[in-house]
Every structure is written in structure tokens, then in C-alpha cells.
Amino acid sequence: MKLALSFALLLSLVLAVSSTAEEFDFFYLVQQWPGSFCDTEQGCCFPSTGKPAADFGIHGLWPNYAVCRTGGEPDAEFSIVGARKKCWPEYCNDDNPLSLLEIKDLLKPLDRNWPSLSCKNGGQSMRFWSYEWRKHGTCSGLDQHDYFEAALALKSRHNLTAILASAGIVPSDSRTYFLSSIRDAISDATGFAVNLECNRDESSEAQLFQVYQCVDRDGKELIDCTLPMRSKCTDRVKLPSF
């Protein structure tokens, strides 16, 4: 009897933990253009490993709900500022901090492909990865190694910098590009729609800042998803040099 009770308790604990971790519909893989992170009024700081390459860098792999959980349809405002309105799960397990040991074979590719440019992090990209793991990764249903490996594999399979370059969209401080040509270049090359987010440079010109791609719940394949995003983009945007 005692044994059966303990087993039932253990089972309910396991179920509780796994259901928090797995309750989402798809991931957003979010990549940032370093030139657009750096040339805003806030500026940026390079990691201790040096100036990153002029390449999109991973911001995060974020579990998302297809429909926000406050009732009603998701709208443009909802999707990006939606954390408070439950458009995605976050901070699913604070007892599972990121461990260097778990990802030691990934440190080199992470430094190259997931550098932190924020001055708040004092040159430590590990702080950025720990933050992303704690906020988003703990809700992914993946373990630490699989989570970071999945993001790296997706980025290398769909190389945004190369895709844009083959469509003639290259970093420049003077040229502007049609937003639609950026969108089309990526969706033609990958087969899937993307969401584009812009920010403003010091002279308030719109520039491509982040690209959102939808990924299946295993973190393996790109998929289509239809959540609208607040984009701050204009019809023509810059891709500033870095």
C-alpha cells in the first residue's frame, strides 16, 4: 500500500514537471543582425572572445502558443509583448540552471553563432545563454545540450546571411532594400514564411533587426505558423554593416 502510494506520488510529480515543460505549440527561432543591434542609441559591447562575424547571431529558441491564453485572438501587440498576456510559457524550472559541463562540446559553435552583444553582460555570452535557457529553454521539453544543439543546427541549415547575399541583399550603410525582397528571399530559400522585426538606427531609419522562423516542437524542422508580429519595419529597410 505504502509502495503504491509512493509510486502514485512519484508519477504525479513526473507528470506535473513534464506537462509544464511541454505545453506549447511551436518554437520561434529568433536571429539578430549584429549591425542593427549595435548602431542604435544604446550601442553594444563585444564578447570577451572578440568582435563576432558579420553574420546573423542566435537570440533564442522560444516555445510559443499558437493562440494567446488570455482568450481572444492574438494581435500584433500581443505577440511581442505577450509574456504578461501568456502568449508563451516562460521560466518553467528555476531548479535547472545552465551548466557549462552540459554544453562543453558546444562552446566554440555557441561563441561563434550565439554571441551576446549586450553591454549588460560584461562580455560573457554564457550569461546570455543562461538567461535564454532559464526563460525559454526550461519550457522546451529538451535537455540543455539538445536545446542548444537544436538552435545551432537550425541556424547552420538555414544560413540567413548566405541566403540574403545570394539574393543581392548585402550589408551596406547607404543602400536600402524592399522588405518584401528580404521576406521573399528567405521564404524562397527555406520554403517557409518568416516574420521580420526592425529597429531604428541613430538617425531613426528602419533596419532589419531580427528574423523569426517557426520550428516544430522537436526543434528540428522549420514549419509555417501564422502569429502576427509587431514589426516596426517600413517598406524599405537597411541592413547596416557590422
Q: How many CB atoms are closer than 10 A to CB 165? A: 13
Query: Which CB atom, from 77 or from 184, has the smaller least distance to ligand 5GP?
Result: 77
- Of the candidates 79, 121, 195, 199, which one interacts with ligand 5GP according to CB under 6 A? 121
Task: Please choose, from the candidates 230, 187, 211, the residue with its C-alpha nearest in 3D space to the C-alpha of residue 28.
Answer: 211
Q: Give the footprint of ligand 5GP on residues 78-117 (CB under 6 A).
A: 116-117
128 forms part of the interface with ligand 5GP (CB under 6 A): yes
Assess whether 145 carries a catalytic annotation: no
Catalytic residue among 23, 102, 136, 221: 136
Minimum distance, C-beta of residue 37 to ligand 5GP, in the bound complex (Å): 6
27 forms part of the interface with ligand 5GP (CB under 6 A): no
Assess whether 158 carries a catalytic annotation: no
134 forms part of the interface with ligand 5GP (CB under 6 A): no
Biggest alpha carbon distance in the chain?
76
Task: Please choose, from the candidates 89, 78, 88, 81, the residue with its C-alpha nearest in 3D space to the C-alpha of residue 228.
Answer: 78
155 forms part of the interface with ligand 5GP (CB under 6 A): no
Catalytic residue among 22, 90, 132, 158: 132
- Of the candidates 52, 60, 171, 219, which one interacts with ligand 5GP according to CB under 6 A? 60
Which among 8-16, 124-132, 139-147, 177-185 is the span making contact with ligand 5GP, rule CB under 6 A? 124-132
40 forms part of the interface with ligand 5GP (CB under 6 A): no
Task: Please choose, from the candidates 62, 226, 224, 87, the residue with its C-alpha nearest in 3D space to the C-alpha of residue 151.
Answer: 62
Assess whether 132 carries a catalytic annotation: yes
Q: Which residue has the cell 529553454?
A: 137
**What is the dihedral sign for C-alpha 93, 65, 56, 38?**
negative
* Residues near 124 by beta carbon (within 8 Å), at least 6 away in sequence: 47, 48, 116
Q: What is the DSSP string of 111-143?
A: HHHS----GGGTT-HHHHHHHHHHHTGGGSSS-
Minimum distance, C-beta of residue 90 to ligand 5GP, in the bound complex (Å): 8
d(CA 34, CA 105): 25
**What are 120's strand-pairing partners?**
none
Minimum distance, C-beta of residue 164 to ligand 5GP, in the bound complex (Å): 19
130 forms part of the interface with ligand 5GP (CB under 6 A): no
Binding site for ligand 5GP (CB under 6 A): 32, 37, 59-60, 116-118, 120-121, 128, 131-132, 135
